[in-house]
Structure 1
Amino acid sequence: MNLSLRNTWPTLAIMMGASVWGMVWYPLRMLNALGLTGTAASALTSGAGCLFVLLVRRSAIRTVRWHWLLPALALFAGITNLGFVWGAIHGQVMRVLLLFYLTPAWTALFAHFILRERLTWSGAALAAMSLAGAMMMLWSPQLGLPVPGSLAEWAGLAAGMSFAMSNVLILKTSRDLPDMRAEMRTAVIFGGAAIFGACASYFESMPAAPTGAHVGEAVLLVLGIGFALATNNMLVQYGLARVPANRASIIMLFEIVVTALTAWLFAGEVPGPREWAGGACIVLASALSSWVHRAKPGEAAGAEGSGNRQDNPDGNLDQDRDGARKNRPRAMV
């Protein structure tokens, strides 16, 4: 009985993490309603998460060494987080999320050129399935070409591409800097999201900054979101280190279920038949990708998380020497 319970906790940890990521768009919209733009919300919540990780895991700071991969990882993590947050605030949440989940298609390409991984027929077929799902979801006779129809959807698409690049860079970082603790990669991701969001906020006007009692409410929300995302990252890392990567990737898709439910309850967003059909193709491609890239016998099966939203839905790409799989930066979110 105790053994069964111990085996259940890691799965529940991953499901709870996916649930948090599936609901975080709502408090971000609350911040937007208080007067904080998407870029400012991204910067502040990510900064709070980075600070929390550095305080809790301060003993791991000494393992950090300078390498060009760290600013590159921070940059793409920042684009990932900002694109997802901005898209979720200003667009239809489910469409933004599904465009984000085109990650398997982009990962196959980036891993081929950066990591020199051979692009297999199965990988190409899964990438094609993801893109076909996106085209099905986006096409309509009125709009013509199946491309994102709003800036929010373009933001979600860009975030997914950057997320794939982040996953590839995380793997390369774990190879080139094997002594750097996983928590510090998480801090780099949060820090990159904070810096990039702060820079982007200069180009987005804030219509009505929080005033009076709203200031305190906004501060509490920012700290709460940052604390929740950082804690959530550590919780997911616990689960990913104890669950086979291919199984964990499928559990991560629970986020889409939670997002669909919360978008319906809180925003009145109900996907139509085309959205369901296209989304099914994208989700199926993500699930099959985790099976195709499953760990071979004898390989480490865990995974490490990347705080913001680095949960790597495309399978077993990022194995490191600790057997930990990278999870996502979206502070991701």
Structure 2
Amino acid sequence: MPGATPHTSWAVAGLLLNAFVWGLSWWPFKQLEALGLHPLWATAIVYGLSFAAIALWIGHRRVHIGWRQHTGLWWLLIASGLTNVGFNWAVTVGDVVRVVLLFYLMPAWSVLVAWWLLGDRPTPGALLRLLLALSGLVIVLHRPDSPWPVPESLADVLALLGGLSFAVTNALLFKLKDTPESSRMLAMFGGGAFMAALTALLGSGSAVVVQSVLWQPGWIGPVLLLTFAFLAGNIALQYGAARLPAHTTALVMLSEVVFASVSSVILGVSTWDLRTLLGGALILLAAVLSVVMPGRAQH
């Protein structure tokens, strides 16, 4: 990065680390599922351990949380929890490239969410981005033998709902920007643990959520790896996002799509076809335009 200051370079490195963690998180989740641990329970355990670590750190520092004064933190808990339920479950049971592309419709959903939640009416540019992203969605979902481009699997539905929840999460983070950072971190990690466990309990006994074994020693390594990686990624994100303009942060974070797609294709769990590439290009173009031409609907 020519002309970049050391602080800027470290901030970008922090964001890339966070994108790398999320882009490769599918692999340990798939390993855990192969060992009999459902991705919902894996998410609940990993985020529960992360929540406990943050709570201990905050308690040691005697940081004021302020949940009674900021009831919106409870909505952040739910939205961020559903984001993790959707994404982690989808990348475990579905094609990683397809899931990540559908999840990254988030900038398109943000146009509608910001209008609903923040009162920001979409500009013509925002509507253009929405049209591009939805066109990409139609191309990715359409099959020659299907008259309508509809989600064809549980992973598709989870990825779309996860992206929508992520858009709501981002809007709530902007709305709650004056709350303590520690409170937002607790809400997001607590939401990941609580919503994953709740969804797993509600779905237990069905053909959708099947937990084959109660315990395997092989779970310990991937669970600890994910816990450490998510904590490190969150710290890196907080560091980088606090030192870079919001549009730069958003652009760097798009590298998650590259990390996830390339790693999954190299490891042989995903493939690229022309339809996915074309639709994905439109979705990513909409995401990039949301960064370089944000308008009033982005913050």
Question: What CA distance in whole angstroms lies between the structure 1 residues aligned with 2:268 and 2:62?
Answer: 41
Residues 40, 199 of structure 2: 8 Å contact kept = yes
Q: Is the partner of 1:57 in helix, strand or coil?
A: helix
TM-score by length of 1: 0.82
Residues 57, 183 of structure 1: 8 Å contact kept = yes
Partner residue, 1:288: 289
Pairing 1:144–2:147 present: yes
State, as a whole percentage, how many aligned pairs show the same letter.
31
Residues 80, 162 of structure 1: 8 Å contact kept = yes
Instruction: Give how far 1:2 is off.
Output: 11
Question: What CA distance in whole angstroms lies between the structure 2 residues aligned with 1:265 and 1:3?
Answer: 32
Q: Which of 92, 96, 117 matches 1:93?
A: 96
* Pairs aligned (count): 291
Instruction: Give how far 1:210 is off.
Output: 5.1
Question: What CA distance in whole angstroms lies between the structure 2 residues aligned with 1:87 and 1:114?
Answer: 26
Instruction: Give how far 1:60 is off.
Output: 6.0
Change (3 A) 1:187 1:2: same
Residues 60, 183 of structure 1: 8 Å contact kept = no
Q: Which of 73, 78, 81 matches 2:81?
A: 78
Change (3 A) 1:278 1:60: farther
Deviates more, 1:72-81 or 1:51-60: 51-60
Partner residue, 2:181: 182
Shift >4 Å, 4+ stretches:
none
Partner residue, 1:208: 212
Instruction: Give how far 1:3 is off.
Output: 7.1
Residues 67, 73 of structure 2: 8 Å contact kept = no
Partner residue, 2:243: 242
Q: Counting helix residues as a fraction of each chain, which structure ranks higher? A: 2
Partner residue, 2:71: 68
Residues 30, 92 of structure 2: 8 Å contact kept = yes
Deviates more, 1:262-271 or 1:247-256: 262-271
TM-score by length of 2: 0.91
Partner residue, 1:262: 263
For structure 1, the 5+ residue unaligned runs are: 296-314, 318-333
Residues 101, 283 of structure 1: 8 Å contact kept = yes
Q: Is the partner of 2:267 in helix, strand or coil?
A: helix
Instruction: Give how far 1:41 is off.
Output: 1.0
Question: What CA distance in whole angstroms lies between the structure 1 residues aligned with 2:114 and 2:5?
Answer: 37
Backbone CA RMSD of aligned residues: 2.0
For structure 2, the 5+ residue unaligned runs are: none
1:106 maps to amino acid? W
Partner residue, 2:36: 35
Question: What CA distance in whole angstroms lies between the structure 1 residues aligned with 2:103 and 2:298?
Answer: 18
Instruction: Give how far 1:208 is off.
Output: 2.1
Q: Is the partner of 2:147 in helix, strand or coil?
A: coil
1:281 maps to amino acid? L
